[in-house]
Structure 1
């Protein structure tokens, strides 16, 4: 397993999101961007091909995400002395991502990296790639690139030239690392992630949807809670939008924001907004028809603090986008909010679920008191004839999962130059399902549930060192804040405020309480984390 919260990924790709998000301005035409390459890059690269279809060495043999191209350009700036005005950088990233990006299917399995969901554990990495690449990178780092086999070999050589101690790392000293990486690994990468794919060919030919218009948005902001809103995207130029957001949180408080967005490769949405005075970033992917957007929104200053974000285009028809909460315990009355657009007609909450009272009703938001009877399972909810969604009816909460299951935070502050790296947790509830046994495939996912939060030592050593006292604390919203940086004279041998903790979520369900646990590692500051903007 490889935890995707690694230094190189966080520095390069993470910063890329912040730099690219919401950049407006007039996009360069293809010939303009090609001319920038000629003017700025041909001191080292060469050009071939024709005037209509030029090819640039070491550039045309690769495909990357917007963040990947920005990382490459930043590396050329910092390590190779490239002088590139910011407007030209924006134009190049846009052009390269549009013409040499990744198809939706190619990026789909690794979107957690683009969305900065840093506490994700990877389980699918090939053993050979883990031993040669995964010691420093997440799998998503190289899986979000496409190259010729020769270009993958060049990348191995670059690593040897730029990082000559690579051969002395763990899992490299006991073997002929360079020969394996150059011959075997590069061939495997060329096979798994080739430059030419059918998916990319198909996407280049596909019609791309303009993402301007009005969107019904649902999401979660740590410390504030779930929200629903209308998002308007007004086109300012090709691929660029002015964005506004207006809605409310689940507690009824207002939400408002505005900013800018850029769309790369025909579906990669990157936005920078200020919401209620706080700078936020959005990273989402549009479906092929351009009717939905899915991804994550997070704090601009702390990409670790964020939550899911979904948007559905307003097409003038009735749509039920979400139900908050999406579960209802049988035999109990509870408040449900139906979120959508053009919600007209009768409310049908499914078999055995009755509306006891309508608290409020509008065209895009309906709040009711409902009660369920009957067997647990999914209910089809409808408003009128076409607006449909699913509600889970359950008999008893059987288990609680804590997400993320594994997290890394880092102490900081206390006069140091590096801020603390926090984490935010949520609790996911499950019923036992048809077999009545929690922890099996039959478990029925209920969704996110409110919880009370606490921490405890992860093991006997952590208890002996009083990690729960020094390593940090968790608040009522599930946000963990690590301790201060630097030696602590109160600890044994003046140790840093590091530690291994278990994060505990306690969910009340009727007269019972169910607990779930997650793992927390509080580490020292990330001293090798580079800022590339």
Structure 2
């Protein structure tokens, strides 16, 4: 699986996801973690409350994700000279995320940040917080925290003390920034993201499911494609598991790997695995019943290179977890694979869809040759009592490139900063019942194979030959930017930056339908820290 580029290891201190994923540590009781706080933190913080229910100033008035608590500890280490061992740090992140985390519904809409899906254009951010906070941070950064009003105000104070020039930045100068931030924005944040919520109270009181067992997994790995696998999670401690995974890619090649996982807050799955020699990370959320996991898997060395991931617990019942591909073109015989578990019984692909041949069949994977006729729309697929859906279409109307907007960064060469790549996928749509493409009636068909190319985004990019210098995209849809540093071949020895359109060309019968995404190739990300 030749996916990672050969650059220095990179870590993003503001996320902590690489350090969180799959950390194994000796289980500690709550009293042990509280004692670590007493031993390591009370030089600056204070303790109150009772022995049974202690309260620690500036700590007990906040709730955060595991990554949020990891960020806090990193800040204490690097800015406040906190002396803490790796094991103590791991124990504190687990304890704080379990006891002062976020409920499942409190993370909804913001999980892209946890899953390291960085090429997202955020929408719906309240204008005041967009101007005050999201000009530097992602909206998800502050939306994944819960604080008392006083703690939100303290956060404003921290920014003033740690970054005093904030008051003179764009959207801050020429107005009473500090007064607005402390007396308006902090109050709004406390109302929108309060420390005490019914969601958190209910989740704390809820019974949490142990996530040990056997899981049917489906996902996508850039450069390799879609896969299905069995993943076993053997419990080694409270919220900790050893993992084994074995599966098959859509092209028939095999995959195998091992690793470990930690579950925080009763539903936040963080895992580290080595699959076919490549280190991968999983970030998923369990549903409240603990029978489904959903999220993303990506390269440990490159969080940008990854894909969707889903896992369904094997409970002995029949279940179809994926149909690959998720669409059939009417009148065309197509190989179709039903991925699931305990698949017994008659195969029914829905109205007007015939099974011409069963190519192979097992209890967890059925491959058939199928042919569809009839009207466009969704079909109900079943194998015995297991059900799924399949899209039937007559003509591909449009192609959507995902991500629609992406930022990559040049690097390598004589630079210590690694290149930041991006991977693309093409989603096909038919025009739907109204016959007009680009409306709400369009039928989503699913991911489709595409030929990939780049071109200048506009006349200026064409004049500067950005498509020649800024980078290249391979057959798998993975874009690699150019080398860092001035390029003597470019006008005024410019860097290998540029603005590009990424083009997906999908063949549909005798026609080809194209879709475009936007790519900005920028200079190195100097916010990231290079580790030896």
Q: Partners in 1 of 2:275 and 2:14 — Cα distance?
A: 23
Q: How far did 1:333 drift?
A: 0.5
Residue 480 of structure 2: SS of its match in structure 1?
strand
Given the alignment of the two structures, is residue 477 of structure 1 paired with residue 504 of structure 2, yes or no? no
Residue 328 of structure 1: SS of its match in structure 2?
strand
The match for 2:6 is: none
The match for 2:13 is: 12
Q: How far did 1:525 drift?
A: 0.3
Residues 276-295 of structure 1 mapped to structure 2, 5 A cutoff: 276-295=276-295
Q: Partners in 2 of 1:352 and 1:115 — Cα distance?
A: 39
Kept in 1, the 8 Å contact 2:13–2:528? The answer is no
The match for 2:457 is: 458
Q: What count of residue pairs does the alignment treat as equivalent?
A: 522
Q: Partners in 2 of 1:435 and 1:39 — Cα distance?
A: 67
Q: Partners in 1 of 2:14 and 2:212 — Cα distance?
A: 26
Task: Give deviations 1:351-400, integer Å, cap 9, x for gaps.
Answer: 0000000110001000000000000101000001x110000001110000
Q: Partners in 2 of 1:521 and 1:365 — Cα distance?
A: 41
Given the alignment of the two structures, is residue 194 of structure 1 paired with residue 194 of structure 2, yes or no? yes
Q: How far did 1:174 drift?
A: 2.0
Q: Partners in 1 of 2:333 and 2:160 — Cα distance?
A: 64
Q: How far did 1:11 drift?
A: 3.1
Q: How far did 1:27 drift?
A: 2.0
Residue 122 of structure 1: SS of its match in structure 2?
coil
The match for 1:329 is: 329
Q: Partners in 1 of 2:25 and 2:528 — Cα distance?
A: 30
Kept in 1, the 8 Å contact 2:214–2:233? The answer is yes
Kept in 2, the 8 Å contact 1:26–1:238? The answer is no
The match for 1:351 is: 351
Kept in 1, the 8 Å contact 2:417–2:530? The answer is no
The match for 2:155 is: 155
Q: How far did 1:532 drift?
A: 9.3
Given the alignment of the two structures, is residue 234 of structure 1 paired with residue 234 of structure 2, yes or no? yes
Residues 219-368 of structure 1 mapped to structure 2, 5 A cutoff: 219-368=219-368
Task: Give deviations 1:29-79, integer Å, cap 9, x for gaps.
Answer: 000000000000000000000000000000000000000000000100000
Q: Partners in 2 of 1:157 and 1:243 — Cα distance?
A: 44
Kept in 2, the 8 Å contact 1:399–1:516? The answer is yes
Q: Partners in 2 of 1:73 and 1:100 — Cα distance?
A: 14
Q: How far did 1:531 drift?
A: 6.1
Task: Give deviations 1:427-483, integer Å, cap 9, x for gaps.
Answer: 000000011000000000000000000000000000000000000000000000000
Q: Partners in 2 of 1:518 and 1:12 — Cα distance?
A: 29
Q: How far did 1:246 drift?
A: 0.1
Kept in 2, the 8 Å contact 1:27–1:94? The answer is no
The match for 1:124 is: 124
1:342/1:13 CA distance change after superposition, 3 Å: farther
Cα RMSD for the two superposed structures: 1.0
Q: How far did 1:527 drift?
A: 1.4
Given the alignment of the two structures, is residue 403 of structure 1 paired with residue 418 of structure 2, yes or no? no
The match for 2:204 is: 204
Kept in 2, the 8 Å contact 1:377–1:392? The answer is yes
Q: Partners in 2 of 1:168 and 1:430 — Cα distance?
A: 47
Given the alignment of the two structures, is residue 31 of structure 1 paired with residue 48 of structure 2, yes or no? no
Kept in 1, the 8 Å contact 2:259–2:272? The answer is yes
The match for 2:7 is: none
The match for 1:85 is: 85
The match for 1:68 is: 68
Residue 12 of structure 1: SS of its match in structure 2?
coil
Q: Partners in 2 of 1:498 and 1:347 — Cα distance?
A: 52
Residue 13 of structure 2: SS of its match in structure 1?
helix
Q: Partners in 2 of 1:79 and 1:171 — Cα distance?
A: 27
Given the alignment of the two structures, is residue 45 of structure 1 paired with residue 49 of structure 2, yes or no? no
Structure 2: state its 5+ residue gaps.
1-10
Q: TM-score, with normalisation over the residues of structure 1?
A: 0.97
Residue 113 of structure 1: SS of its match in structure 2?
helix
Q: Partners in 2 of 1:154 and 1:524 — Cα distance?
A: 34
Q: How far did 1:415 drift?
A: 2.4
Q: How far did 1:26 drift?
A: 2.0
Kept in 2, the 8 Å contact 1:11–1:532? The answer is no
Q: Partners in 2 of 1:520 and 1:68 — Cα distance?
A: 29
The match for 1:56 is: 56
Residue 504 of structure 2: SS of its match in structure 1?
strand
Q: Partners in 1 of 2:233 and 2:312 — Cα distance?
A: 12
Given the alignment of the two structures, is residue 169 of structure 1 paired with residue 175 of structure 2, yes or no? no
Task: Give deviations 1:115-138, integer Å, cap 9, x for gaps.
Answer: 000000101111100111011001
The match for 2:3 is: none
Q: How far did 1:416 drift?
A: 1.3
Q: Partners in 2 of 1:523 and 1:259 — Cα distance?
A: 34
Q: How far did 1:529 drift?
A: 2.1
